[in-house]
Amino acid sequence: MEEIHRKILQRNRTNLVRDLDPLNLYDGLLEKEIFTQDMIDDIRSSGTRRDQARQLVRDLETRGSRAFPLFLECLRETGQHSLAELLQNGAPAVQPQPAAPTQIVHTVVLPLPISSPMDVDKQRKDDVPVYPVQRPHTTPSPSPEREYIRPSPQGRTRQDSIQSYKMDASPCGHCLIINNVEFEPQSELSNRKGSNIDCDKLERRFKKLNFIVDVKSNLKQKQIKHALSALSKKDHSQYDCCVVIMLSHGTEVSHSRFPGAVYGVDGQYVPVQHITNYLNGQHCPSLQSKPKLFFIQACGGGEKDTGFEVSPDEVQPSIGGTDDQMDAIPMSSSSDSLSMSDEPDARATLPTPSDILVSYSTFPGYVSWRDTQSGSWYVETLDCILEENAATHDLSTMLMMVNNEVSQISAKGLYKQMPGSFNFLRKLLYFQS
C-alpha cells in the first residue's frame, strides 16, 4: 500500500473503529481479492465489532497498492458513504487498475516447498511481498497485486494474527490508585512532594478512559494489602480490564518473578510480585483471561544512572527541574521482610503470570526521579502519551514511546532514567477513546 494511503488509514483509525461495519464488507473484500478467506476468518475471530474493525484496518495496510481504492469501493457498495468520503478527502485520486483483459501466460503463485521452518524463514521475511512467478501452467491462481504468501493457520507467527483484548465494557473496569505522600517519622522516608500532581493526572486520565477510579492516600503496608485484597474480591465479570497504580517510595528486593517493592507510609514494603498475585487468575477468577495492568512510580533501587555518551543527532536532551527528588532507599535483604507466610496469596508455587503487564518508572535497581513542582518524569510523560495516542495505538507501543521520551530527560543535567515493563499480555490492548 502507498505510504500516503497508510497514513490516511492511521489518521482516521478512531473513526473507522467506531463506525465501520466489517460484516457487510467481507464478501466485497473477498470478491475484489483484497483479502484471502483465511484472512477474513482471522478478522472474524478477533472479537467484537470494534475488534474486527480494528483488525481489518490494520491488515488492510499490509495489502498491495490497489487495496486502498478497492476498499473505498467496498465502503460505497455497502452504504458506508461517510467513511468513504472521509478517507477519499484525504487521498489523491487513485483509480484501481483492472487486470489485463487477456493473458497469454497465466500468473500463478507457487506453493512453498516442503522444508524446515528455518529454511522457510530464509526464503521469505515477514512483511516482504512474494512476487508471482510466470509459468506456462494449467490452472491460474489469481491474487492481489504484490500479495505475499501467508502460511497456514497452524504456523502463523505474524503480527497480523495477533488478536486484541475485548475493551468495550462500560465502564471498562476498576482502577485503584495508591498515593503515598506523607511518611511516618519512624519510617525514615521523606515526604513525596509532587506526588499529588501525579495522582490527579492519572485519576483524570483513567476516568477519561472510562475506568471507575478509586484513590487511596497514605496507606501503611497492611492497608495496601487490604486495599488490594478488597479489589481482588470484587466481581469483575462485567468489566474488561483492571488497573493498579502505585505512587510511593520503592526499593530493590529479592524476587522470583517481578522485581522491586513499594513502601507503605510506615516504612514496611510490599513486593511487586505479591501485588500482582492478588489479581492473577488463581486469586481473582473474574479477571481470568482479562488484562491486569500495574503502573509503578517508585524506585527500583538506589543506584543512579549517569547514562553514556551518544551522538548529538541521536537524542534531543531535556533537562529536568531543579527540585528533582528520588523515590528510593537502599535494597533490603531482611529475611523477615521477605517472608510470605502472612500473605493471603502465599503459595509454594504460583501459576505463570498471564494477561499481566507491570510498567515500571525505572530500570530495576535504579532510582526514579520526581519533580516537586510538576510531578514525576514517568507519570507526566505517560499521561501525555495516553492523551495523544490512546485513540490509535496499543498500550505496548505507547509504553515504548514513554520509554523513549523519559530516557532523554536529565536530572541536574547529569542523571538519567529508563522506564520499562514486564509484559505478559497475550493480545494487543487498545483503550476506549
List residues with catalytic annotation: 249, 299
Asked if the bond preceding 171 is cis, omega within 30° of 0, the reply is: yes
| Residue/partner pairs of 139-142 with CB below 8 Å, 24 or more apart | 139/106, 139/108, 140/106, 140/107, 140/108, 141/107, 141/108, 141/109, 142/33, 142/99, 142/107
- Reading the block at residue 277, the C-alpha cell is 498475585
Query: What's the 3-state SS for 273-304?
Result: HHHHHCCCCCCCHHHCCCCEEEEEECCCCCEC
Sign of CA dihedral 206, 207, 209, 214: positive
| CB-CB contact of 198 with 268 (8 Å) | no
Residues 6+ apart with CB under 8 A from 111: none
Residue 21: CA count within 13 A, CB half-sphere: 13
For residue 179, what are the β-bridge partners?
Answer: 217, 247
What is the C-alpha to C-alpha distance for residues 354 and 359, in angstroms, rounded to an integer? 15
What is the C-alpha to C-alpha distance for residues 64 and 97, in angstroms, rounded to an integer? 12
What is the C-alpha to C-alpha distance for residues 40 and 285, in angstroms, rounded to an integer? 32
Sign of CA dihedral 380, 224, 176, 215: negative
